[in-house]
Amino acid sequence: MAYSTGLARPMARTPPLPSWSDIPLELAGLVLLRLPALADRAHFAAVCQQWWVATKEVPLPAPLPLLALPDGTMYSLPESKPFHFPGCVGYVDACGDWLAFSGEDGFFLKNPFSHATVTLPQQFRVRDHRHHAGVRDRRRHANDGTGIKWMVMEDDPNRLTMCKLLYCSPQLVAAFVGVQRNIRIAVCQPGAASWWTVYMGYSFPLSVDMAFHQGKIYVIQEPWEILFTIVIRVDPGTGDPWVYGVRYDIKKNPSVAITRATNEDVTMKMFYLVELDGALLIVCRKMPGRRRVRPTLPETDIATPTGGNEFKVFRGDPQQSKWIELTTIGKGGYARGPHRLHG
């Protein structure tokens, strides 16, 4: 006959369920590789400390860019649904991770995510070696140790306008500056006490773009598709950069034809310089358009787009002085068509 002791057997302890934060780093990397959008990667990093570490330690390709509008609307590619981001409200230009704003104290750059701010100079100067339009010579000063004399430019906003900003490094910012009807290049060292130094030795057309690549500033000029290198010198006394000269690197045109069916129908072109995976690329955008004469300026005309876009991508080879057309970009490819460009 069996007797019960009245004591229950101890139950086996259930092992804890595995946590999502315990996934191996390699697996987290595979997940991140399937998240090309910057917003999705930010959401991934916000889950826990381990996943945030994964976003820093796993080598990832550059995320797809964010499209920010001055009214605060932002698009996280490839999604089409917009969201509001107050950090980009009111910006006047964009360069990489930086947005340019215009305030009472002049222009400044701000990273809308880290909130880092870069103050830019308010004063402009040119090298004093000949007469320049838009320059007053009542105030002059010489750089210490160089013997180079500079003249202060007029600060009339109607005669001096900022067209495009390019953040190159903590020691160098470049810009296209409109001096009356001419486009000049200017450089500065960030800081309110520094100077914008404007190079008056070359006038660029309105259709121009620039990029910072491997420590150099490159400029692409339309309609001749000429690639320039901006030669920079630095004042040993103040650390302020200035443009020593402009050097031609590529003079040959990319294989992009300009067609003109009639006096009114034209093919419009725009060029953009882009640095991607260590290569300097030029994106050529072609659009059919219709040309019309300006009523107020009969000697000039403007073109209005009438159709879709066609894109071609070239890699610049300054050593060979030529452009090489690409069919793939980085580790992926792009589908070139008459209306769209897919990364």
Residue 259 structure tokens: 């067609």
The answer to whether residue 7 sits within a structural domain is no
The answer, yes or no, to whether residue 259 has pLDDT greater than 60, is no
State residue 1's pLDDT score: 53
Domain boundary among 251, 267, 284: 251
Q: How confident is the model at residue 133 (pLDDT cuts 50, 70, 90)?
A: very low
Find which of 140-149, 159-168, 181-190, 280-289 is predicted with most confidence, using mean pLDDT: 181-190
Domain around 245: 120-251
Domain boundary among 251, 271, 299: 251
State residue 208's pLDDT score: 86
Beta bridge mates, 67: 75
Residues above pLDDT 70, as percent of the chain: 76
pLDDT tens digits, one per residue of 106-130: 789 998 888 899 999 988 888 765 5
Domain boundary among 251, 285, 320: 251
* Domain identity same for 162 and 214: yes
The answer to whether residue 319 sits within a structural domain is yes
Q: How many domains does the chain have?
A: 2
* Domain identity same for 223 and 262: no
State residue 186's pLDDT score: 94
* Domain identity same for 238 and 175: yes
The answer, yes or no, to whether residue 43 has pLDDT greater than 70, is yes
